[in-house]
């Protein structure tokens, strides 16, 4: 059984659909999109839970609800995140309040979910798996804003630290996509132009590309502590 956060659209929805197609029961989550979440859960034969991950009690309850519904938890995919474009040289716009908002959801919430899910993941017969969806911006000095990039870089390092601490019973990896063509990024014309012109694959990723890699990472019983960049080769340029 898998819990995928932020899974009513974009990357999260694609991951939920891929895991369900592979035969995994999925708990769908969102902060607001209740109708879409319930519809997707019904389509996939899973369940839907609404929670605001910026609220610690709700994040912990989300993991607990997943276990209560199915009696087990084998996979946690920390996909939910926040992003707001801020020019890197506009230091005033990247206020302490903006830093706190992004860190709360992009870094602290995954930590809370990992700690809340850990007892169940340790009981998973084949060993539990955690995949954190981070970002190319956490690997290279780029991204929609400095706070966003820093939050993803921190989550990459937390991924490695948890892998070292939780093995062999729980594997922890990260998938770090570059630009992904989702509703949130449709208007990011500069980024789309960059990927079309500079990346060897000459396009951004599709959500299904990310979902395929997440499924492959989870299928490996030996892979842990890796941050896998999925950027169509842009890192080569």
Annotate the chain with three-state secondary structure: CEEECCCCCHHHHHHHHHHHHCCCCEEEEECCCHHHHHHHHHHHCCEEEECCCCCHHHHHHHHHHHHHHHCCCCEEEECCCCCCCCCCCCCCCCCHHHHHHHHHHHHHHHHHHHHHHHHHHHCCCCCEEEEEECCHHHCCCCCCCHHHHHHHHHHHHHHHHHHHHHCCCEEEEEEEECCECCHHHCCCHHHHHHHHHHCCCCCCECHHHHHHHHHHHHHCCCCCCCEEEECCCHHHC
Torsion angle of C-alpha atoms 33, 175, 212, 223, degrees rounded to 10? -130
Task: Kindly give the confidence (pLDDT) of every residue in the chain, 237 residues in length, as a single tens digit, with 9 standing for 90 and above.
Answer: 999 999 999 999 999 999 999 999 999 999 999 999 999 999 999 999 999 999 999 999 999 998 998 999 999 999 999 998 899 999 999 999 999 999 999 999 999 999 999 999 999 998 999 999 999 999 989 888 999 999 999 999 999 999 999 999 999 999 999 999 988 788 888 889 989 999 999 999 999 999 999 999 999 999 999 999 999 999 898
* Number of domains making up the chain: 1
Domain range for 19? 2-236
Q: What is the CATH number of the domain that holds 208?
A: 3.40.50.720
Q: In the prediction, which pLDDT does 143 show?
A: 87
CA distance 160 to 154: 10
Whole-model pTM: value is 0.95
CA distance 155 to 164: 14
CA distance 49 to 66: 8
Q: In what order do the strands lie in the sheet with 128-133?
A: 47-50, 26-30, 2-4, 75-78, 128-133, 170-177, 227-230
Average pLDDT, the chain: 95
132 forms bridges with which residues in the sheet?
78, 174
Catalytic (active site) residue 222: no
CA distance 54 to 66: 18
- φ, ψ of residue 130 to 5 degrees: the values are -120, 130
Q: Are 211 and 192 in contact (CB under 8 A)?
A: no
Q: In the prediction, which pLDDT does 219 show?
A: 97
Q: In the chain, what's the furthest Cα-to-Cα distance?
A: 50
Q: In the prediction, which pLDDT does 209 show?
A: 98
Q: In the prediction, which pLDDT does 19 show?
A: 98
């Amino acid at each position: 059984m898998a819990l995928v956060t932020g899974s009513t659209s974009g990357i999260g929805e694609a991951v939920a659909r891929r895991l369900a197609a592979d035969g995994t029961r999925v708990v769908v989550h969102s902060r607001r999109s209740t109708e879409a979440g319930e519809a997707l859960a019904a389509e996939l034969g899973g369940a839907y839970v609404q929670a605001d991950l910026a609220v610690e009690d709700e994040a912990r309850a989300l993991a607990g609800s997943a276990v209560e519904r199915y009696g087990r938890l084998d996979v946690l995919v920390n996909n939910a995140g926040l992003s707001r474009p801020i020019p890197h040289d506009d230091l005033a716009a990247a206020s302490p309040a903006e830093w706190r908002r992004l860190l709360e959801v992009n870094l602290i919430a995954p930590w809370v979910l990992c700690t809340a899910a850990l007892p169940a993941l340790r009981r998973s017969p084949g060993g539990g798996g955690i995949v954190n969806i981070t970002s190319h911006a956490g690997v290279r000095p780029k991204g929609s804003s400095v706070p966003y990039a820093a939050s993803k870089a921190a989550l990459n390092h937390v991924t490695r630290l948890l892998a070292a601490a939780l093995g062999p019973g729980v594997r922890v990896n990260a998938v770090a996509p570059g630009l992904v063509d989702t509703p949130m990024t449709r208007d990011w014309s500069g980024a789309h132009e960059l990927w079309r012109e500079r990346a060897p694959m000459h396009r951004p990723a599709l959500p299904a590309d990310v979902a395929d890699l997440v499924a492959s990472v989870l299928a490996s019983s030996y892979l842990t502590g890796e941050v896998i960049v999925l950027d169509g080769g842009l890192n080569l340029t």
